Structure 1
Amino acid sequence: MTADEDEPKGYASPPCLAPEIDPTYFDPLAVNSTQALDVARWRKAARARLLADRAALSVSVRQDAVERIAPHLEAVIAARFGQMRGLTVSAWWPIKAELNLRHWLTDLVARGVTVALPVVLIPGTPLVFRPWTPDCKMVQGFWKIPVPADGPEVVPDVALAPVVGWDAAGFRLGYGGGYFDRTLAALDPPAFAIGVGLYAAQVPTIFPQPHDIVMDMIVTETGPQVGPKGAISPR
């Protein structure tokens, strides 16, 4: 993903004013080119700060967060679908100090869940998903991220996405490439979308734009933070 894809091209803009915008009055459907560029600049700065904060955490701290997140994910998915067995759950191969869920994913495979990883077939188009198991052959994919070498394309029932940042309205701040939003918009039938990240990565708002898709749930190490389509859940 290119970190600059958030940013509209071909416009001039004054210095970024996004931090001064009151989130209460921000209208994502009324953006203009100047406002969109200001938001893109704010997101780039926020993304860099949040990635640096996450990278500064020790491996043990991040792994402790994973161990606390996994049962919350199980509870949220079970509440939505009734059981795990038979579901297809897409996740990610961890990069850039992302939370590493592979131990939990391995356990899911053993319990009859199809775990899938995203694959870029054509840059700039929606992702596809291929089944993953701990012993499947992996190859270097786009951005040099390992992906399953082959296998059928599957449609996830549950789509897990790592968040760089998140807000209480249920929007996630990603890496800026827009791949996950395009993919969610294209999935048929739609997936139950869960953003997964650290509680400390919450921001007041990501200043959502028309292309941003709200998550069905945000889950952190403290539990579900945002309920279906932005309804706040108790911690």
Structure 2
Amino acid sequence: MKRTDPSIAWGGSCSGADLTRDKTVLRRQLLGLRKALTGATRDAACESIGRHLLDWQAGSGTATLAVYWPIRGEPDLAAAYRQLVMRGVQLALPIVSGPATPLTFAAWTPGQPMTPDTFGVPVPAAPQRLLMPDAILIPCVGISAQRYRLGYGGGMYDRTLALLRSVPAIGIAFDCARTEFAAAPHDIRLQALITENGIDDSA
């Protein structure tokens, strides 16, 4: 099922962009497109993604949700996170334990003390209570029509999802992240994608 919201109209579509299929170059181009979203356009898109996330959570009944701290222009869903907590949803943030290890997830509530990890990304300050999420939100640099994700190239989410195949992975992206590329054998298809234009959870 695909649900779309026409309320957000882009000033310019990236569907016609000349994007190469080389992942390194494609990643750089997509990051450039994301960085170009500024001001009211970005704010409106983040607000719309947040609304769709709240709708998805209400429909799924997810009680423990792994979210993300936005970096490098990723959609900022702080307002939606606060509303999820008000609903009684337990949030968690990913923790990087090592360069070639899967992520773990630490319980988190907006406003609690934070500390930077080895990459400078804020994570809950020690002591950390680790938990197993019911679903994982994953920010996407790029996303294919088959819902394969293009990330930053570190493989941390790939290693994590390979171990947690029963845990739904929900992609989060601006709609201009839609693109096409050849999926690698280790790539895992996301269960759903949420953009400012709706929720794509088609079979």
- Which TM-score band (shorter chain)? 0.7 to 0.9
Q: CA deviation at 1:202?
A: 0.7
Identity across the alignment (%): 40
Alignment of 1:71-220 (within 5 A): 71-81=51-61, 84=62, 87-150=63-126, 151-187=128-164, 190-203=166-179, 205-220=180-195
Q: 1:130 deviation in Å?
A: 0.5
C-alpha distance in 1 between matches for 2:68 and 2:153? 16
Map of 1:60 onto structure 2: 40
For residues 200 and 135 of structure 1, what CA distance do their matches in structure 2 show? 31
Matched with 2:8 is none
Instruction: Normalising by structure 1, report the TM-score.
Output: 0.73
Q: Is the 2:136–2:170 contact (alpha carbons within 8 Å) kept by the matching residues of 1?
A: yes
Structure 2 unpaired stretches of 5+: 1-19
Specify whether residues 179 and 53 from structure 1 end up closer, same or farther in structure 2 by C-alpha distance, changes over 3 A only.
same
Q: CA deviation at 1:43?
A: 0.6
Using CA pairs below 8 Å that are at least 6 residues apart, which structure has the higher relative contact order?
Answer: 2
Return the alpha-carbon distance in structure 2 between the equivalents of residues 129 and 142 of structure 1. 16
- Matches of 1:64 and 1:214, distance apart in 2: 27
Considering fraction of residues, name the structure with more helix: 1
TM-score by length of 2: 0.84
* Aligned residues between the structures: 184
Q: Write the distance in 1 (CA, Å) between the matches of 2:156 and 2:29.
A: 21
Q: 1:178 to 1:135 in 2, by over 3 A?
A: same
Moved over 2 A (4+): 74-81
Secondary structure (helix, strand or coil) at the match of 2:119 reads: helix
Task: Tell which structure's C-alpha radius of gyration is larger.
Answer: 1
5+ residue gaps in structure 1?
Answer: 1-18, 20-38
Return the match for 1:49 from 3, 21, 29: 29
